[in-house]
Homo-oligomer: A and B are copies of this chain.
């Protein structure tokens, strides 16, 4: 699926929800899609600055906040970075494999893990709202 197709899908999703994927927000999403790796907020900022007047951090953080809320991107807690979601149509357990050698990230959405986690939380009387699962390791290509 091409960058353009993904952007169009994102636009459809947003309009369908009454949310506005403004040019600014779409630009941040495009940068993340084209990067094909997680980017820090300030990396995105640097990308956006290229070619026009410099923008300030809140611009990027606000766009990211929107994109996160729409499920179009995920935040990687262990990297303080952001990555676009490959299937943002519906909410899903967001679980990540992060290669510490090449930096590449794979999103897996294993329902069994999510279910087991929910189960464990319930046993402790816990009502989960967000599940962070990030596995740091070395990918196949890097071994």
Contact = CB atoms under 8 A, between A and B. Distances in A.
A78 interface: yes
Interface residues of A, number: 34
Nearest to A138: B127
Contacts of A129: 100, 136-138
A43 to B, nearest CB: 19
A69 interface: no
Interface stretch (A45-53, A82-90, A110-118): A110-118
Interface string A93-130: 00101011000001010101100110011001111111
A52 to B, nearest CB: 33
30 contacts: A77-B132, A78-B132, A97-B121, A97-B124, A97-B126, A97-B128, A99-B126, A106-B126, A110-B116, A113-B113, A113-B116, A113-B117, A117-B133, A121-B135, A125-B140, A125-B141, A126-B138, A126-B139, A127-B143, A128-B137, A129-B136, A129-B137, A130-B135, A130-B136, A130-B137, A131-B135, A131-B136, A132-B132, A132-B136, A133-B133
